[in-house]
Chains A and B, each alone.
Chain A
């Protein structure tokens, strides 16, 4: 297949998968086979694009002209390639996990669940490969809408409230801030295509206008969960855990930070922003979010809530790294999208495994659980170490680049934030590991979660370590984003 056909296939396979799931809804085994087949096929399509992108070409697919002069079109560049690889690869693992989790917990509406999941992946691919801001925005909104049924899956009052916050913040920020930013960009530059060096590079805007526009973008991309627009993420935790794992640790939130990096690199241009002082406020906001969210995580007893605030904090690593505007930190930003994904999905998998095996949700209930679920908590430890940034986990690699970027930019407060947050990460993860392994178990005895769940979380934990030793592919993609 040609590269353009592969791009089309990457968009259509999950969408067609959703259709297949709907048709196979009555036969659960067939339905799950369709999901797994769609996931495997999608990953194969995405992998098929890698050689071309590594060779420096940017496969394109033009569909039609949506508005005069603005196409619905796709172009695969290194950053989108990396994001698509992470999301589609983890969809396979997450589907295996979903099967174990949804059946293990006897969840209702499973067909709807798998349909929405496949549609969410289709939207994610659209975001990853978008050639311009309008296409990105189209799929960005679609992702919000198709994940709403997943967030409100349980249909009770809590789910309803969570769904309202989710939709309110994500739609609200994107409609009120992001859309005017995009339209203003169109009015100023006459194009919305992502170009290396930034499409606004030639627009000669004043410092204030550029800073204002940047603010509209940064806060408008609510999925990046920059404070004060982070509340949707903890609210989304009412969803079944596989949703939190793939969508609210990988696809949706990474779509947010992906868009942030994309806007900084391809809309404004790193050099344009570095030359002016329009982006100076951004590291401060990101740094504040990192620290503040960590502090909230420290105090959260609910495990998923703690993980959610940890995600808020880790997302701002990416924003901070991009905002440092040095090549090395941009490499770090791109890498951290992948690194945080595998680490955090492992942690959520573990949280879901604990819930499935023991129905425990609070950190204070986890005494001795590591002795009953050694594989699960072993994987949890690996994920936690990766997020703290300890070798031999991939989290160390990305943090290393971000720190180097901070030193290169001579932005000492940013370096201090990174180091301080490392301590905070350890402070909210390590007590969990400690009580799990070193305290006596309580309550009724239970074993590991179903084998599909354990398999999935061991796989992602293994990937977390493997990517430390073999970071070749993500690193190569990340370096070409930064033009290194």
Chain B
């Protein structure tokens, strides 16, 4: 009986957990409730994914109001894939947060932290599950507001400014999105995405539709930090508490990409977006700019968090590059990289959280000789770094394979060369860490030998193991991505 309500429950349980935590106001209980809620969400996401893989798209009518009148939760291959990523990362970050948040957030605020965290998880899961444009906006606002608060929990006072910066830009993004949705509602009279898709061809005038496309593109580009709208990201990642950085980097931008894909291919449709409009060209240009500039900037950053934050901007560029290639292999690359980059960055930021705990700050002057004082943490960062570069045997390689394959099959050899060439810049910044950790002698500010507690190291290494596992056995990731790409290009959601 519960099984049929899973699509809604996986969102509702974390959402309900938040007020419960606030009512109880107990730091330890708060953690347990968050763990239970996120664990349940993961279980539900996995079951939903299995259901979608077996029986196709799942549709759930909220409150039994049939779509398009009621709110519909509609989970297809792509949605299920994103749900698994978000719920998986959320469930791994909670155990990590036990010690990390204890060190970085005052104890009397713990219950608030976990309440907001649950809200954020619920918001992101809701964005991936819902099939309703306005419901999506509501969840986006829940997730975003929660994120601003989570970032502001950072110890450094600059965290407040980073949260404020993100608040301003994120709100502009959300506003643009809702203007776009308003225009679409005007033209179709519906908010249900599937219904909207079927009514759009009947729209009386194309101009408002194009305006809606533009508004949604810009709005979501702000949320997913597409160059040059990425300015909020480096500060947010750098100054947020470690657990928040790991969670945000692995999920927030990825869900925004999902929304963009959803609108492009399920609502507007591939013929309009890729053939009639120059969206592929625009995305290609912006993606290339993101990859090149952000990678180069990453090489010169003074600390690990900031370095990998800029690397995220570049890696998001690879995802949007896949959308820009606009073939089946290109879209496969985009979807698979959304997942692979999520786990890679998740692993990196969890490990860096351990460094921050032991060293206070992940500046390069504090990680000299880290290979000797924190061998497991350092090795994990190296392996995740290899995944970032795209070394075969790691998750990142799989994404690169499909990106290059897509480019070559389109005859865009220059693009293939660009993709492989820019991964050398990733070698440069990853090796900056390797040389500091393994070739430099420990400096006066290097932490004394000792790993972070197991509660932090184990989740981090599970993510590292995932980076290797999904590099060798790609049946889940590539299988889902290819099915999703086929569905998107097929037009119907």
Contact = CB atoms under 8 A, between A and B. Distances in A.
B439 A67 contact: no
Contacts of B4: none
Bin chain A's interface residue count: 20 to 34
24 contacts: A65-B475, A66-B473, A66-B474, A68-B474, A68-B479, A142-B392, A145-B386, A149-B438, A152-B438, A155-B439, A163-B435, A168-B427, A172-B424, A172-B427, A175-B390, A175-B420, A175-B424, A175-B427, A176-B420, A176-B421, A179-B400, A180-B408, A186-B405, A187-B405
A159 interface: yes
A180 B472 contact: no
Nearest to A134: B392
B482 to A, nearest CB: 7
Interface of A: 64-68, 72, 134, 137-138, 141-142, 145, 149, 152, 155, 159-160, 163-164, 167-168, 171-172, 175-176, 179-180, 183-184, 186-187
A165 B409 CA distance: 33
B404 interface: yes
B325 to A, nearest CB: 13
B392 A137 contact: yes
A134 B392 CA distance: 8
The winner among B401, B423, B473 for most chain A CB atoms within 10 A is B401
Contact of A68 (B390, B416, B417, B482): B482
B137 interface: no
Contact of B393 (A138, A167, A186): A138
Contacts of A145: 386, 391
B421 to A, nearest CB: 6
Contacts of B392: 134, 137-138, 141-142
A64 B417 contact: no
Nearest to B416: A180
Contact of A183 (B386, B390, B408, B438): B408
A180 B389 CA distance: 15
B431 interface: yes
Contact of B439 (A137, A160, A186): A160
Given A67-B478, A172-B427, A176-B420, 5 more contacts: A64-B473, A66-B473, A176-B421, A183-B404, A183-B416
Contacts of A180: 404, 408, 413, 416-417, 420
Contact of B472 (A64, A142, A152, A164): A64
B13 interface: no
A163 B435 CA distance: 10
B420 A66 contact: no
Given A141-B391, A171-B427, A176-B424, A68 B478 contact: yes
Q: Chain A's interface: helix, strand, loop or mixed, by majority?
A: helix
B236 interface: no
Contacts of A67: 398, 401, 474, 478
Contacts of A134: 392
Q: Chain B's interface: helix, strand, loop or mixed, by majority?
A: helix
B408 A160 contact: no
The winner among B391, B405, B423, B431 for most chain A CB atoms within 10 A is B391
A145 B397 CA distance: 15
Contacts of B389: 175
Contacts of B398: 67
Given A152-B439, A160-B439, A183-B405, A176 B417 contact: yes
Contact of B424 (A141, A142, A171): A171
Interface in B406-426: 408-409, 413, 416-417, 420-421, 423-424
A141 B393 CA distance: 9
Contacts of A65: 473-475
Q: In the A-B complex, list the 3 residue pairs whose CB atoms are closest, starting with the nearest.
A: A138-B392, A183-B404, A176-B420
Contacts of A175: 389-390, 420, 423-424, 427
Interface in B35-78: none
A160 B393 contact: no
The winner among B413, B417, B439 for most chain A CB atoms within 10 A is B439
Contacts of A138: 392-393
A183 B391 contact: no
A311 B398 CA distance: 35
Contacts of B473: 64-66
A180 B416 CA distance: 7
B47 to A, nearest CB: 25
Contacts of B474: 65-68
A123 to B, nearest CB: 11
A127 to B, nearest CB: 12
B427 A167 contact: yes
Contacts of B472: 64, 66, 72
A68 B478 CA distance: 8
Nearest to A160: B439
Contacts of B386: 145
Contacts of B431: 164, 167
A188 to B, nearest CB: 9
Given A155-B439, A171-B424, A172-B424, A179 B404 contact: yes
Contacts of B404: 179-180, 183
A73 B432 CA distance: 34
B354 to A, nearest CB: 21
Contacts of B417: 176, 180
Contacts of B393: 138, 141-142
A159 to B, nearest CB: 7
Interface in B376-395: 386, 389-393
The winner among B392, B408, B438, B439 for most chain A CB atoms within 10 A is B392
